[in-house]
């Protein structure tokens, strides 16, 4: 059990918040200082990081590895697509709502079955469920567009009807950043709440948690649902950035990358998955210039080496501080 002191010592907490403010401030000014390519790149890191963080709720805090997060991400995308294609004029709020409902609904459905199983069985069943969603989306061409997916236009950025404007890459970045920061603070609060403590106690010793009297399955279902909601949120953001939804994003490859982000960045830190996503995407960017799609060969080898020699990930050594 990672001992979380009831009252974190003042300098440590202060240091954490100062670092947090600096990072957020850097991300706010990033689109103003960076060329368009890197601006888009940073936005993408934020979105993939949000997806990876949603998975960290399960991997890092509850001790369940999901190999099916692509399903929730993809359903978030298709949910947003449904809202943007059927409702005129396209509405940002409805896109978010539809995406979250689709992903959350799918997560509850998957969780109902998968949480009865432990360890690798949980992983396999999430993988299988995500493949079911993939097959359905891939073959149901009339509704989902099949292999080609769906394309749509971006909604306008509107806040409570008071103000409305077209998205530019910069405002989109700020919007994504705001969503990500709020999500991060929310998930951080949740993992430190009594509910989060129960999740961590399930991770450390499930039979004991059950013996104390907690209804473990119920906690697990809620954890998967929360995780699915944030994954769906990432899906909505990605759909809005790229203006399309495609079955490729429901496929297993995305789930695998999410797990890689977590392992590379450090599980159970919430910030680690962002660092992992940034590290992976930077490696991909740097290597794919020379190796095109074969960049996964060196990245895969780096991944294996990190598992053997750096199981805590890049930010694992900060784990205590980040959870303080």
Partner 1 sequence: MDQIIIQTLHGLVNGMVLAMVASGLTLIFGIMDIVNFAHGDLLMLGAFVGASVVGTTGNYWLALIVAAIVIAILGALLQITTLRPLIGRDPLTTILATFGISLVIQKYALWQWGPSVRQISEPVRGDFTLFHLQYPWYRIATAILAALIISGLWLFLKYGKYGIWIRATTQDRVMAQAMGIPVPLVYTGVFALGSAMAAASGVLFGPFAGVTQTMGFDFTVRAFVVVVVGGLGNLGGSILASIFISLLESYAAIVVSPAQAVIVSFVVLVLTMLFRPTGLFVPTPK
Q: How far is the CB of 70 from partner 1 (least distance, A)?
A: 13
The residue (of 180 and 259) whose beta carbon lies closer to partner 1 is 259
Query: What separation in angstroms does the CA of 46 have from each of 40, 142, 165, 289, 314?
Result: 10, 32, 22, 22, 17
How many residues are listed for the chain in this entry? 324
CB of 200 closer than 8 Å to CB of 30: no
Q: How far is the CB of 128 from partner 1 (least distance, A)?
A: 5
| Nearest alpha-carbon partner for 183 in 244, 226, 153, 225 | 226
The residue (of 20 and 252) whose beta carbon lies closer to partner 1 is 252
State the Cα–Cα distance between residues 73 and 126, nearest whole angstrom.
Answer: 13
Contact residues for partner 1, defined by CB under 8 A: 65, 113, 116-117, 119-121, 123-125, 127-129, 131-132, 135-136, 138-139, 252, 256, 259-260, 263, 293-294, 296-297, 299-301, 303-304, 307-308, 311
User: Would you list the DSSP string of 265-295?
Assistant: H-TTSSHHHHHHHHHHHHHHHHHHHHHGGGG
Q: How far is the CB of 290 from partner 1 (least distance, A)?
A: 13
Q: How far is the CB of 237 from partner 1 (least distance, A)?
A: 26
State the Cα–Cα distance between residues 213 and 219, nearest whole angstrom.
Answer: 12
The residue (of 43 and 55) whose beta carbon lies closer to partner 1 is 55
| Non-local CB neighbours of 191 within 8 Å, separated by 6+ positions | 57, 61, 199, 200, 270, 323
What secondary structure letter does DSSP report for 151?
E
The residue (of 34 and 283) whose beta carbon lies closer to partner 1 is 283
The residue (of 58 and 198) whose beta carbon lies closer to partner 1 is 58
Q: How far is the CB of 179 from partner 1 (least distance, A)?
A: 29
């Amino acid at each position: 059990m990672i001992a979380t002191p009831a009252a974190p010592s003042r300098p440590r907490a202060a240091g954490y918040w100062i670092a947090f403010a600096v990072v957020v401030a850097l991300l706010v000014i990033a689109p103003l200082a960076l060329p368009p390519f890197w601006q888009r790149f940073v936005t993408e890191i934020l979105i993939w990081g949000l997806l990876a963080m949603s998975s960290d709720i399960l991997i890092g805090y509850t001790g369940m590895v999901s190999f099916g997060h692509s399903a929730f991400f993809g359903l978030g995308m298709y949910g947003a697509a449904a809202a943007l294609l059927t409702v005129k004029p396209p509405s940002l709020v409805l896109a978010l709502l539809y995406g979250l409902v689709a992903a959350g609904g799918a997560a509850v459905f998957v969780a109902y079955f998968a949480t009865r199983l432990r360890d690798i069985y949980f992983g396999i069943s999430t993988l299988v469920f995500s493949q079911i969603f993939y097959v359905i989306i891939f073959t149901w061409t009339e509704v989902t567009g099949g292999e080609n997916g769906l394309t749509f236009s971006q909604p306008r950025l509107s806040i409570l009807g008071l103000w409305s404007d077209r998205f530019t890459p910069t405002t989109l970045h700020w919007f994504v950043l705001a969503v990500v920061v709020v999500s991060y603070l929310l998930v951080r609060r949740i993992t430190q709440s009594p509910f989060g403590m129960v999740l961590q106690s399930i991770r450390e010793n499930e039979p004991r948690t059950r013996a104390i009297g907690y209804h473990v399955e119920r906690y697990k279902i809620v954890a998967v649902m929360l995780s699915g909601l944030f994954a769906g949120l990432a899906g909505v953001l990605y759909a809005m950035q790229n203006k399309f939804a495609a079955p490729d994003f429901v496929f297993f490859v995305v789930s695998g990358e999410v797990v890689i982000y977590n392992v590379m960045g450090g599980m159970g830190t919430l910030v680690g998955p962002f660092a992992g996503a940034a590290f992976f995407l930077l490696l991909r960017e740097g290597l794919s210039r020379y190796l095109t799609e074969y960049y996964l060969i060196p990245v895969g080898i780096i991944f294996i080496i990190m598992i053997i020699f750096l199981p805590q990930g890049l930010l694992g050594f900060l784990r205590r501080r980040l959870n303080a």
